[in-house]
Each structure stands twice: as C-alpha cells, then as structure tokens.
Structure 1
Amino acid sequence: MFDFQTGGLKPALTEALTTAGLTQPTPIQTQAIPFALEGHDVLGLAQTGTGKTLAFGLPLINNLLDMPGRPAPKTAKALVLAPTRELVNQIADSLRTLTDKTKIRIGTVVGGQSINRQINMLSRGTDILVATPGRLIDLMDRGAVDLGTVRYLVLDEADQMLDLGFIHALRKIAPALGTPRQTMLFSATMPKQMEDLSRAYLNDPKKVQVSAPGKAADKITQSVHYVEKPGKPAKLRDVLSEDPGAPTLVFCRTKHGAERLMKGLVADGYKAASIHGNKSQGQRDRALKSFRDGDTNILVATDVAARGIDIPTVAYVINFDLPEVPENYVHRIGRTARAGREGVAVAFCSAEEASLLRQVQKLMKIEIPVASGTAPTGPVSEQKPRRGGGRRRGGGGGNGGGGQKFGAKPNNAGAAASKKRRPRRRHAAA
C-alpha cells in the first residue's frame, strides 16, 4: 500500500506534504503514483475532488528532481495541458506548494493574459509548463516555445478538452514533443472519444479507476425540482433562503443567462458574482477571489467553471439549467463535497429539459430524488442531449412555477399548417 512517507518520494516532497497537512493519500493517489514513479503511462479515472492533481503532480516533480540541469531558453521539461484558464491556475498553484523549497520552476500560459509577458517567461525556460491548448498553439506559431525537450506530458480533464474541441490542437502539439516520454491522462468521465484519445497518446498504460465513470461523490445529496422556466428564479430564491449565506455555485447554460441571473440576485440584495466566457480574465479572477474569500457567497457560472474551481467550502451546487452534455452535470456537482466533505446538489428541470435529466440519470445509473413538482407525463417539446463541442441556446419556458404540473398538449395547429404544400415558385429565365 502506497504511503507518502515510505513510497519513495524525495524528502523535499514529503516535507512539503507534511507542511500542507497532507498525511494520507487518496485512493486515486494510492493507485496511480506507484505506476507513475515506475515510469509507466497512466490512464486515471476518478471523481472530481479526489486528488487527481497530486496523483500526477507528485511523481512528475519527483522525477524532475532527478533530472540535472536547468531548462534551456524557450524549453520545458514537462507539459501539463488543461481545458480552462481557471484549471491551469489551480494546477499551477497546487504544484507550487510542492516545489516551494526546490529549484523547479513552474510557468503558465493561458488566453486572456499578456502574451508578451508569457513570451518573456518562456524565454528563460521552465521545468513545468501548465497551459491551455489554444494559447500554447499561439506561442508555438510565434516560435516562442520549443517543446522538443518535453519528456513528461499530462492531459488533465481530457474529456472536457475533447468537448471543447481541442482535439485538433492536441494533434498539433503532440508531434512537437520530445520522445521517449511518459504520458498521464486523467479524467472524471470516459466517453468513447476518450478511449480513442488514450490509444493515440498512451503507450501500454496502466489504467487506474477508483469509481465508475459518471459517478458522483458519495457524500453529495442530490435532488431535482420540476419547475418551468418562468418559475426558476423564484424557486432559486426559495432554495437559497433555506441556508442563507452558504457558499453556493449556480450553473446556467448561457453566458447571457448567467449574467442576467446574477444581476437579478444582486438587485434583490444577494451577494453574488458571475463567471463566464464574456468576462475578461481579470474579472473572472476577481469573481473567484471574492467567492473564495467569502465576500460573495453566490457564484453564477456557465460550464467554464464546471472544472477548475477547487473551493472546499462550497456547500451547494444548483443547476439552474441542466447541461446539454450529461457528463458536465457530474463535473458541476463535483464542485461540492470535495476532500471528504459533504455537499448538496439541486437541479431545476423544466419540461423542455426532461430528456436532459433522463440522460444524466442514465449516465449516473441513479434516479435523482424529486424535491418538488411533477415530472412531465404528456408529449413535450424537448431539448436533445448532445455530446461534443459547440454551443446551443437553451429552450423556451412554459407557463408555470415550482411545483406546477406540466406536459400540457402542444398546439398542433401551426405544425399542421406548415405541412400543407406550398405553391412552387418559378424563377424567371436569365
């Protein structure tokens, strides 16, 4: 059984772990770290909040401590790719707590920040480069970074990178990396495209799976409120009033919807902030800091924040809109009940979202308990769940509020009329 103190880690790492109060490895760390220390490629599957960063970070730093010499200008010895700016910054911060008393340098490159500053950082070389794929491609195209010396590659939250359309960037980055190299791929879900990715980038990997893909943490209490779209804001305020001041993440499907909801909450006296793709990096950082510090207790977000937010105090996750990609539900609710804590996940489901809820329950292999309202029973116009990248606007609302029955018969008059054959237009000859 792997142990931090006797598992072969360098003294600098064991000391850093002790200082951080980390004494016992999590299940994913117990299984993945020994394989990684031995030099194997690793495919790690585990729920969010279970310590995947240290599962690859500890063996990565341990191996780098054995590599002599400083990195040459524009080069890196290890590359960690993550899908969002927030996750890149979170990974880098976690790794820096382990390298504080070593000579290992960690650099980050993400979009939304000064590319010239990042070019200057890379010009000095770095041991570990943590990056989003898009900005890394920009720097490669400018000749600002040479990845030929990279001997360690980590793909964190690889399934979301696929979902956000980063596969083409990965295909451009991979050939530029040095060989031979060790590759570690970590994720909380395992869609079929991820299997293809693992076959393409991993060499005879050791597969480590500590929970079924799509399974949420055991200490998350889940429930669903059936409520039509117009009734969701009132239902949200009802839920918030049950535990005023508790750190709460509220997820919306669209950027405009998230911003509108946040402004409505602020107007009603709630301490709320928002984070989504229309915000600058500075605005996103300030919103996260305000939420982390407790200055605001409600953070309204799109799926840009479904991963990369590691705030242990989050007590509630509310799915104001259900996600179109069912795996994203798992990542959203994984923002609570982190590091062994308990948490609550609440979902709002309108008639149009019924198919999305069914897909979530199918993925998780559970029936989410109903807290209020009645599930639709009649034919309804539903949003189709999707997988993969792209964006789609959310469906319209209905006529009711929380607890109202829905599934009323649709008006088919317009549909019937649209089926009537229209006279064919004749185009004049040129």
Structure 2
Amino acid sequence: GSKLIHVPKEDNSKEVTLDSLLEEGVLDKEIHKAITRMEFPGLTPVQQKTIKPILSSEDHDVIARAKTGTGKTFAFLIPIFQHLINTKFDSQYMVKAVIVAPTRDLALQIEAEVKKIHDMNYGLKKYACVSLVGGTDFRAAMNKMNKLRPNIVIATPGRLIDVLEKYSNKFFRFVDYKVLDEADRLLEIGFRDDLETISGILNEKNSKSADNIKTLLFSATLDDKVQKLANNIMNKKECLFLDTVDKNEPEAHERIDQSVVISEKFANSIFAAVEHIKKQIKERDSNYKAIIFAPTVKFTSFLCSILKNEFKKDLPILEFHGKITQNKRTSLVKRFKKDESGILVCTDVGARGMDFPNVHEVLQIGVPSELANYIHRIGRTARSGKEGSSVLFICKDELPFVRELEDAKNIVIAKQEKYEPSEEIKSEVLEAVTEEPEDISDIVISLISSYRSCIKEYRFSERRILPEIASTYGVLLNDPQLKIPVSRRFLDKLGLSRSPIGKAMFEIR
C-alpha cells in the first residue's frame, strides 16, 4: 500500500480563490474563464482544500473526506480539465480520465456539470465527455465513444467493466486519472470487487506504466472498508489525505432547520404531511419546492396519488424511484432542477448526490432505510450556501430512531411537536384514496417488510412497531378495526404464523 500523508488543517490559512490559483499558475485561463462565468460566490472549503494539492504533484494519490452538497464535483472536475489542457497534444483522442459513480443518476449529474463547463467556455468543448451507465443502450453508447473520442468517461461500475472487457485497448490505454466519487456508497452497494477489477484492467492496459494512473477518492466517511479499498487501488507511493470535514461539527448541515412531528399512529404522518404542505403552499403563494421521502416504492406511488389529488392545481407533483425507467428518471431530474416550484416524491434513490437547486424543504414520512441516509436526505436542501429546513414525520413507536441519530451521528433534533389530525383533514385525505383494498394491503405489506429490516439498527420494539404499521390498512380504509387479510401460507412465509405479533397484524382468511 502507499504511505498515507495527513495534510493538517490550517486554521489561519488564507483563502484560496480562482484568481489566486490563476496567479500561481495552477490554473489555466481557459478553465478560470469557464468557472468564473458560473458566478459562484467563491470556492467552497472542499475546493479550496483539494484543487491545488491534486494538481501540484503528479506523484501522489489523493483521498478526500467531503460531505455531499459541498461542491466536491468541481473539486475533481477542475483538476481534470486542467490536466487535459496541460496534455492537450498527447493522445488527444483517448480517454484520459475515468470517473466512477455509485448510481446512474449521480453519473448523469456529474456529466451535466461537465456540460456546464463546456457551455461556459466553448474552447473547452474539445475535451469531450461520455457517460457509460447501466440501463441504457450499449451500442448507442459505443457509437458515441467512436464519434466523440472523449477524454472524460463517467461511469457506473458494471457498465464500465463491460466496456473495458471489449474496448479497453481502443480507448483506455492512456488514462492518467481515475476518480471514485462517493466511495463509501460504492462499497455499500457492493461494488468492491468491481472497483478492484476496473483498477486492475486500467493499470494493466496503461501505455506508460502500471502505476501511471493517479487516483482521487472522495468519500463522506472513511472507515476501514474505504481505507482497505484505497490500499488496493492506489498506485502512487504516497497518498495525501485531505479531511475537509470538521471534527467538532455535527454530521448534518448546520444550516438546515430540522424538526420532527410525532403522531400516535403511523398513518397520521400522512395527514400531518398533507396539512404541512397545505400551509406552506398558502404561505409561499404556491412558490414551494420540496422533496418528500417515503420508505418503499409502493408507498411512494400511493403518496404521490394522494398529493396529486390534493395539490395538482397548485404545483407539479413528480414521482421518482428505482422502478421508473432510466430515461424517465433523467427527464424528471431535468424538470425538477428547472422548476421553481413542485414536490418530488421519492424513495432513498433520490437521497444521495442529487443536486436540485433551491429546494425549500425536505420532508420525510417514516424512517430511511439506513441511518446515514437521514443525513443524505436532508442534504438535498440548503445546498451551495442557501438556507433550508427538514421535517421528519413519525409515530411515537418510531422515536427510537431519533435517539439513534443522537447516539450514532451526533444529530440532535431540538424542535419536536406532537400532532393529532382533525376529523376534517382525515376525511379530506381519505376521500382522495382511490386504491382498492388489495392495493392498500400490498402497500402496507411493503411498509411492514421495510420496517422489519431496520428493527435492529434503530432499536425498534418489534411487538409495537409492526402492528402499528399494519394498522395503517384499517385507517386508510376508514375502518380502524380492519386487519390485513392474508393466507396462512403467507404468514408462514413471513415467519409470523406462530407469533402473537402476526395475530395482532393480520386476519387469516
């Protein structure tokens, strides 16, 4: 492995600006021009800390710990463009930089940032960029590679391996940079072997030397898994470790005004959210842009139909989750970025790395699939220096989640209020429910299995939380005594046929 060099935080270090990087000869005027035209208020702390170290030495790799929403995409794109300018006469029709991202949405978003740089300075358009992501047409992508001969490729791991296995000699023999964005997320999804394979192929095919490629690894967390991966894919003898996250600052963004709304019943969170949105639309005169997170795909669709019934005349309601085709997801992302107002209803697919400007609020009904995703979810607001707020709607049996946030992540949500729905809001929302009882039962069963999977992590009481989630069925059908009808075989499959919890939740038909 390479030797890790910790670059200490300097408290009184002077501000690094685009101008100072230009004056020191670190940045070329072409890239300086493009970034200046974007009119950022200044370089973010992550960019100030990383751009110069990445560029000022060819012979070490870089690991940077950086939170999402802190401007890290430009922290690696600026050095990559600078390198392309520096080497513009060498192998100019070959891929020189490979950026690996955990999800298609994030890969396409990085590609959109590259296009911004192109649009701000046409002189940089000759450094073309192609994204290689799963769920898109392989042949079309290869035609694009042949036509554009890009210097930058942004990819998800699986698709990248497919391309490397067939075309590494043709395009990838002259790579100088590889970037792993959100390395912790890449590992969480289980891409470790793929990343090592990619690194191996790129090194083996490299025309200069097996250790030519400089590696940049960006990650919000740096646990043993990330460090082990780094050891296996870094090429240089030395690796700079740049920590841009302040030890004393709590994990979540300080600028986000966080609150939690606690109901007696899980179903009441739906009423609470609708009432909250109503109030916001009225106060902001329909100029309201929010993202609302839900635990499962089925529940997300259901919530979307309720919100459409309630608010369609006020603002667009968009549904976003993994079951939607990639093309549709791409156009939804474009649309929500552009829209001044609207509500994006999504699963945790939208929690990481997605950058939507001017989101006023992040709302969450129920808990995320894992603790870290709470931080990623709320990070969709208050981006690039703006204010934002987040509201978590939960029932009292979900309160252990809030304690876990405090213990494990040092996040204290001080603002807590209790909620009790009025008969009026209940009947208004329940009238908007158009689903058949079978569909409602599917939706609630999807929630049950989602909650079962995080009982341990959040220290929920199984005997309380599961019957509470199950009771949503009766509430939504306006008969609180109703239980979800299931067969005994189904209960066996859940492993609940002998348990008193099963009897509390289901009616056996």
TM-score class normalised by the smaller sequence: 0.7 to 0.9
Q: How does 1:179-218 map to 2 (within 5 A)?
A: 179-202=211-234, 203=236, 204-212=238-246, 215-218=251-254
| Range moving further from structure 2, 233-242 or 365-374 | 365-374
The equivalent residue for 1:262 is: 304
TM-score (norm 1): 0.84
Q: Quote the offset at 1:348 in angstroms.
A: 2.2
TM-score (norm 2): 0.71
Higher Cα Rg: structure 1 or 2? Answer: 2
Kept in 1, the 8 Å contact 2:64–2:219? The answer is yes
Structure 2 SS opposite 1:335: coil
Deviations 1:144-175 (A, max 9, x none): 76533221011111111111122122122110
Q: Quote the offset at 1:16 in angstroms.
A: 0.7
Kept in 2, the 8 Å contact 1:311–1:335? The answer is yes
Distance 1:339 1:207 in 2: 24
1:107 aligns with one of 107, 130, 137: 130
User: Which structure ranks higher in relative contact order (CA pairs < 8 Å, sequence separation ≥ 6)?
Assistant: 1
Q: Quote the offset at 1:101 in angstroms.
A: 1.9
| 2:366 equivalent to 1:321 | yes
Distance 1:17 1:416 in 2: 62
The equivalent residue for 2:432 is: none
Q: Which has the higher helix share?
A: 2
The equivalent residue for 1:426 is: none
Distance 1:362 1:25 in 2: 33
Q: How does 1:275-424 map to 2 (within 5 A)?
A: 275-294=320-339, 297-351=342-396, 353-373=398-418, 383-385=455-457, 397=469, 415=499
Q: Which runs of 5+ in 2 are unaligned?
A: 1-13, 204-210, 420-450, 459-464, 476-495, 503-509
1:57 aligns with one of 65, 74, 77: 77
Kindly tell me the number of residue pairs found equivalent between the two proteins: 395
Distance 2:117 2:52 in 1: 18
| Range moving further from structure 2, 354-363 or 9-18 | 354-363
What RMSD, in angstroms, separates the aligned Cα atoms of the two structures? 2.8
Kept in 1, the 8 Å contact 2:196–2:233? The answer is no
Q: Quote the offset at 1:416 in angstroms.
A: 7.3
Q: Quote the offset at 1:187 in angstroms.
A: 2.1
Letter in 2 for 1:251: F
1:273 aligns with one of 306, 318, 325: 318
Kept in 2, the 8 Å contact 1:292–1:311? The answer is yes
The equivalent residue for 1:222 is: 258
Distance 2:500 2:48 in 1: 62
Deviations 1:174-228 (A, max 9, x none): 1011331111111223344223223333343222222248712221111112233
The equivalent residue for 2:184 is: 159
The equivalent residue for 1:24 is: 42
Distance 2:166 2:297 in 1: 31
| 2:105 equivalent to 1:95 | no
Q: Quote the offset at 1:384 in angstroms.
A: 2.1
Q: Quote the offset at 1:110 in angstroms.
A: 1.2
Deviations 1:250-300 (A, max 9, x none): 112222221121122112234311111100112112222332232761001
Structure 2 SS opposite 1:175: helix
Structure 2 SS opposite 1:197: helix
1:236 aligns with one of 263, 273, 285: 273
Distance 2:174 2:213 in 1: 10
Q: Quote the offset at 1:398 in angstroms.
A: 6.3
1:15 aligns with one of 17, 28, 33: 33
Structure 2 SS opposite 1:345: strand
The equivalent residue for 1:119 is: 142
Query: Are residues 248 and 416 of structure 1, via their aligned partners in 2, closer, same or farther at CA, if it must alter by over 3 Å?
Result: closer
Structure 2 SS opposite 1:341: coil
Distance 1:79 1:397 in 2: 45
Distance 1:113 1:417 in 2: 44
Distance 1:355 1:371 in 2: 14
| Range moving further from structure 2, 332-341 or 116-125 | 116-125
Letter in 2 for 1:32: T
Letter in 2 for 1:27: P
Structure 2 SS opposite 1:113: coil
Query: Are residues 344 and 416 of structure 1, via their aligned partners in 2, closer, same or farther at CA, if it must alter by over 3 Å?
Result: closer
Structure 2 SS opposite 1:344: strand
Letter in 1 for 2:245: S
Distance 1:193 1:168 in 2: 12
